Amino acid sequence: MESISIDEILQITRGGLLQGNPAMSITNVAIDSRKINNNALYIPIIGETNNGHDYISQAFSNGSMVCLTQERNRSFPAKMTVIYVDSTLAAMKALASFNRHRYNLPVIAITGSSGKTTTKDLVAAVLSQKFNTLKTEGNFNNEYGIPQTLFNLGPNHQIAVIEMGMDHLGDIKKSIELVDPSISVITNVGLSHIERLGTQDNIFLAKKEILQTLTVDGVAYINGDDDFLKKIKTEKNPYQVRTFGIDGEHAVKAKHYTSTQAGLEIQVAWEDRNEIYTFNYPGKHNVYNCLTAIGLGYFYGMTQGEIQRGLDAFVPSGNRMDIFNIGEIKVINDSYNANPDAMRASLDVLAALGCDYRRKIAILGDMLEMGEHGPAAHLEVGAYARNKVDLLIGVGELGQVICQGYENAGTVYQVSDALAAGAFLKEIIQPDDIILIKASRGMRLERVIDFIKEGGQ
């Protein structure tokens, strides 16, 4: 981040100088007092369980010479420059918006019920072949994380790819003006967070918040095969709407694809281009992820070779479709999160990769935050697994419902939690097994991997 003076911070945040040196400047912003450099502004955020104001002294000890505060009556280190604001969260957003709008560059915002992180990583991998690309790292996709990503924007960047998550109506709206995207992408509308939002229609409305700031020059780039998203094409909108998909007519269309153990081969049509691309990961869901990245590559004038190099360079984020070997056992670790669409997609990958393995084993746990839709959704996942899995281990209370849907189509076991699943699996795994691990993040199913390492080597 280029430097911002204290005077600029005062103007941007409408703050008042409580103490310190107004001639200073900062080159970074942090909300974690443990992650501070000498030119960082510390912004103490008041959360549900922690008050960042309690760590101002720690931030100073770690090198921060400037902080914001919304609590006047605190005692501050004597040598620290302190700026009072009405709300530290609002001030952080104002500063993030300032930094984003310093630069006249394309910004792509991405959301969706499933696949948005993979899509973000894939889009960034492709665009990085031609442009210096900033992307959201880790899970910095919420009201607190998005500003921190925007603070990383600098004069050398040529394009930015920002992931936007949501749990409630209004979540994306809180940050969309900061991001101010040129293109907004919606991957799909599923059942994630339906416990909080109540209906899939509300989920659709929450996702559409990513389109609110698009102008006549902006583009909504959406999955045209999604029953909810295709409605956007029929609405009166100030922005352009372009679709990607497999079925029907689309701006970017997969005319044909094959999914094998080796991955995907996709024939993609766009305007007068008709090209073949390959991707190292199988599954129909990855066709849509690739179409998003390929289409944006086309939009920004990239060649087939550049786009293909980006597809080849893609690396999944932690615990998302991470495929690796432990001895003679293949593991598909997709334990970061889960919803019905993502569960089906992971089972498809297991089926595709499992052709040359002795047993296809699925360890499937609870999909959380589904409310009254939970039991039916878990039954459906179990039914979907019938022709794709040789051995099913259901983890947790709703994991048992998955087992009921499976209806003993193969060998089935029920266990209480991740540790029990790992201990059981350690006793039964054999060489040439392939194992899928999938559940909501709260189930912490990644812990199973340590047991596989103990039993599989």
Residue 225: the pLDDT is 97
Are 310 and 125 a contacting pair, CB within 8 Å? yes
For 42-62, what is the mean pLDDT? 95
pLDDT value, residue 231: 94
Mean per-residue pLDDT of the chain = 95
Percent of the chain with pLDDT over 90: 89
Taken in order of first residue, the domains within the chain and their CATH numbers are 4-87 (3.40.1390.10), 103-313 (3.40.1190.10), 322-456 (3.90.190.20)
Answer whether 27's CB lies under 8 Å from 43's CB.
Answer: no
Which tokens sit at 161? 């790819």
Residue 195: band (very low, low, confident or very high) from pLDDT cuts 50, 70, 90: confident
The pLDDT tens digits for 263-279 are 999 999 999 999 999 99
Locate 379 and state its tokens. 């039954």
pLDDT score, position 317? 82
CA distance 57 to 405: 55
Q: Give the orientation angle of helix 418-428 with respect to helix 448-456, to 10 degrees.
A: 20
User: pLDDT tier at 125 (50, 70, 90 boundaries)?
Assistant: very high
pLDDT at 188: 96
* Average pLDDT estimate for 24-36: 94
- Rounded distance between C-alpha atoms, residue 366 and residue 50, angstroms: 29
Is residue 247 over pLDDT 70? yes
Distance CA 435, CA 322 (A): 12
Bridge partner list, 257: 266
Annotated ligand binding at 116? The verdict is yes
In the structure encoding, which two tokens stand for residue 366, read together?
A: 């609870």
Q: How many CA atoms lie within 13 A of 112 on its CB side?
A: 27
CA pair distance 424, 414, nearest whole angstrom: 10
Whether 112 has a binding-site annotation, put simply, is yes
Token digits for 104? 């006249």
Please check the confidence at residue 85 and state whether its pLDDT lies above 80. yes
Residue 27 assigned ligand-binding role:
no
207 a known binding residue? no
- Across 159-313, the runs of DSSP E, i.e. the strands, are 159-163, 183-186, 219-223, 240-245, 252-260, 263-270, 273-279
Nearest to 254 by CA among 234, 236, 231, 275: 275
In terms of phi and psi (left: phi > 0; alpha: psi -120 to 50; beta: otherwise), the region of 40 is: beta
Q: Is 117 annotated as a binding residue?
A: yes
**Torsion-angle region of 406 (φ positive above 0: left; ψ -120 to 50: alpha; else: beta):** alpha
Tokens encoding 243: 């679709």
Specify burial of residue 157 (Cβ count, 10 A radius: 0-12, 13-18, 19+).
middle
CA–CA gap between residue 125 and residue 261 (Å, rounded): 22
Residue carrying the six token digits 């020059």: 217
State yes or no: 394 annotated in a binding site.
Answer: no
**Strand pairing category for 133-135 and 81-84:** unpaired
Is the confidence at residue 416, as pLDDT, over 70? Answer: yes
Q: Is residue 457 pLDDT above 70, yes or no? A: no
Identify the pLDDT of residue 409.
87
**pTM of the predicted model, to two decimals?**
0.92
Q: What is the pLDDT of residue 316?
A: 87
Q: What confidence tier does 306 reach under pLDDT thresholds 50, 70, 90?
A: very high
Tell me what the mean pLDDT of segment 382-388 comes to: 95
Structure letter (DSSP) for residue 210 = G
pLDDT band at 138 (very low <50, low <70, confident <90, very high): confident
Using DSSP's 3-state secondary structure scheme, residue 203 falls into helix
428 Cβ neighbours under 8 A, 6+ residues apart: 391
- Mean pLDDT across 32-47: 92
Question: 207 burial class (0-12, 13-18, 19+ CB within 10 angstroms)?
Answer: buried
Mean pLDDT of 319-337: 92
Q: How many CA atoms lie within 13 A of 289 on its CB side?
A: 30
Q: What's residue 456's pLDDT?
A: 53
Mean pLDDT on 361-378: 94
